[in-house]
Amino acid sequence: MAERVLESLAPGEVLRGREVVGEEISGLSWESAKVLDCVFEECTFTSCNLSMTALTDTRFVDCTFVGCKLLAVNWTATGAGSMLAQPLRFERCRLDGTTFAGLDLNGFVFRDCQLTDVDLSECDLRRADLGGSDLSGARFSRADLRDADLRGTRGLVLDPRDSRLKGARIDLDAAPGLLEVFGLSIG
């Protein structure tokens, strides 16, 4: 049996200075752990729990997260621009209470995710795919959503006067969230 590249970490436990390239990482838990000065490149995380994990000066390059739980993660602590080398992909993940405020998420994928109470304020979300995701309580103040895919989203409330939306794709299910700020409703 092959040795696992990474193991689960107990709350407060530290993973420091690791570089992991091209690995399939499945089922581990880093809940409330600390991941410091690490690099993950072209890795796929499947069914992992990274909730409340501190990701200080940690870099993710072209990584995919599938069916993962990433509650209350502060991605802004990864260090200036460090996670942004290549767009990340989140599929069927729970990211409730997470903050991405001010980050460049151009081309990122959040497909069929739970993004309740996520802070996307001042983010560059151009060409991002948020399709099929629950955006209840998500904050988009001064976000750039040009050419973003918002089709199939639920719970979207967005002030079109406060965000850039040119070319964004929405469907009729998401449209009421653009009118709510004006006190209008459809139906």
Q: Which residue from 96, 79, 158 is spatially nearest to 125, judged by alpha carbons?
A: 158
From residue 160, give the alpha-carbon distance in Å to each of 19, 21, 36.
41, 40, 38
Span(s) in the chain for CATH 2.160.20.80: 106-181
In tens, the pLDDT along 27-70 reads 999 999 999 999 999 999 999 999 999 998 888 999 999 999 99
In tens, the pLDDT along 128-159 reads 999 999 999 999 999 999 999 999 999 988 88
Structure tokens at 42: 């072209």
The topology (CATH level 3) of 106-181 is Pectate Lyase C-like (2.160.20)
Whether the predicted pLDDT of 82 surpasses 60 = no
Residue 85 confidence (pLDDT): 60
* DSSP type of residue 92: S
Whether the predicted pLDDT of 19 surpasses 60 = yes
Give CATH for domain 16-94. 2.160.20
Provide the whole-model pTM.
0.89
Confidence band of 183 (pLDDT split at 50, 70, 90): low
